[in-house]
Structure 1
Amino acid sequence: MDYELRPATSDDYAYCYRLTKRNMYDLFCKHWGGWVPAEFRKGFSVENISMVIIAGKRAGYLSVIKEPTSLYIDNIQLSPAWQGRGIGAQLLKRLLADHSDVSVRLTTFEDNPAKRLYERMGFVVLEREGMTVKMEKNGPIRWCRRR
């Protein structure tokens, strides 16, 4: 499936909010006690977000935070109409290829269906806290020569 990425603008906020709430509401209620609009607003930074565009329309978004020695995937959301078509895998492959020199991290729920995709892409669980898991895919191992 062909898609494009474009930088988000403040005009994308309502779309991202509705999409995330639609996709994650049940999991947030189950594991964190509910949906908190102020938390979404606090974490929404257009400089970290790329909109997924298919056939000229928004199909989802990707939020990535660049850290000094790693990359943190803050959010990947696709419209239900586009889920299950390999787009999430394409987004992750592209992201991992573009940042193959650093560790890539994310946080998800143990029972989030996307966790299976992350595992297929080589992410491993580093830490569990209840049903929340922190996952990572390491960059290349750099071997040091002994002298």
Structure 2
Amino acid sequence: MWANPVRSAQFAIASAQDCAIVTECVLDPCAMLDPTDLRILYQLRPAEPGDFPFAEALTHGNMGGYYKRHGLVWRSDLFYASWRESENFILEADGERIGVLRVTEEGDSLHIRDVQIAAGHRGQGAGTYMLDMSHRWARARGLHELQLRVFVDNPAARLYQRMGYRVTGPRLAQLGSIRHMVRPV
């Protein structure tokens, strides 16, 4: 007997309730599939304590230029505090860690705190995959919207717009350098 087809397809899940959402849109949970028939692209798994250094290094490396351009200073202590408050996931391709997704539930919204992808893996659907999984989780939890923040000069904003996010205005005190974006579930 083959393993759970969702796991075989490398659509990792954080809980049993997430399984229903993944299978609803991707696979028949009762199907008996040969995993070799499936093209495995990404696995999104819950982060483990040993993933923190990777996540911080990737996030700092990806965001450092934006911080510098907008007069901000990276603070590892704040990233760590945020890490402890978030649901954190690691994106893998062929067993290699290539990305980080961090979310928090805030009222009736799922706040996407980070979508980080390693250089060399961008533009290949990884960001779309993580955003789609976030949307599915929000729907499964009965939330009404997803929200995120993005620097005004970050090209990822185009992906967010293609996926239905709309700018709702400047956020925080960085004189409009960060945009707040939302989309309904």
Instruction: Identify the TM-score tier after normalising by the shorter chain.
Output: 0.7 to 0.9
TM-score computed with the length of structure 1 as normaliser: 0.86
TM-score by length of 2: 0.70
- Extract unaligned runs of 5+ from structure 2: 1-39
SS, match of residue 28 in structure 1: helix
Give the drift of 1:47: 5.5
Q: How many residues align?
A: 139
Q: Is the 8 A contact 1:8 1:46 kept in 2?
A: no
Report the identity percentage.
30
Q: Tell me the CA shift for residue 27 of structure 1.
A: 0.0
Structure 2: distance between partners of 1:120 and 1:47: 25
Alpha-carbon separation, structure 2, partners of 1:10 and 1:93: 25
- Show the counterpart of 2:182: 136
Q: Write the distance in 1 (CA, Å) between the matches of 2:177 and 2:121.
A: 26
Task: Report which stretch shifted further, 1-10 or 18-27.
Answer: 1-10
Q: For the pair shown, which has the larger CA radius of gyration, 1 or 2?
A: 2
Q: CA RMSD, aligned part only?
A: 1.7
CA distance in 2, matches of 1:127, 1:35: 23
Aligned to 2:164: 122
* Letter paired with 1:104: L
1:99 aligned to 2:138?
yes
SS of the aligned residue for 2:70 comes to helix
Secondary structure of the structure 2 residue equivalent to 1:29: helix
- Aligned to 1:99, the other structure's residue is in SS state helix
Decide whether the 8 Å contact of 2:86 with 2:103 is kept in 1.
no
The partner residue of 2:118 within 66, 76, 79 is 79
Equivalent residue of 1:81, what SS? coil
The answer to whether the Cα contact below 8 Å between 1:10 and 1:46 also exists between their aligned partners in 2 is: no
Displacement of 1:3 = 0.5
**Larger % of strand: which?**
1
Runs of 4+ in structure 1 deviating by more than 3 angstroms, as ranges, are none
Asked which structure has the greater RCO (Cα within 8 Å, sep 6+), the reply is 1
Quote the Cα distance in structure 2 between the aligned partners of 1:6 and 1:25. Answer: 25
Q: Return 5+ residue gaps in structure 1 as ranges.
A: 140-147
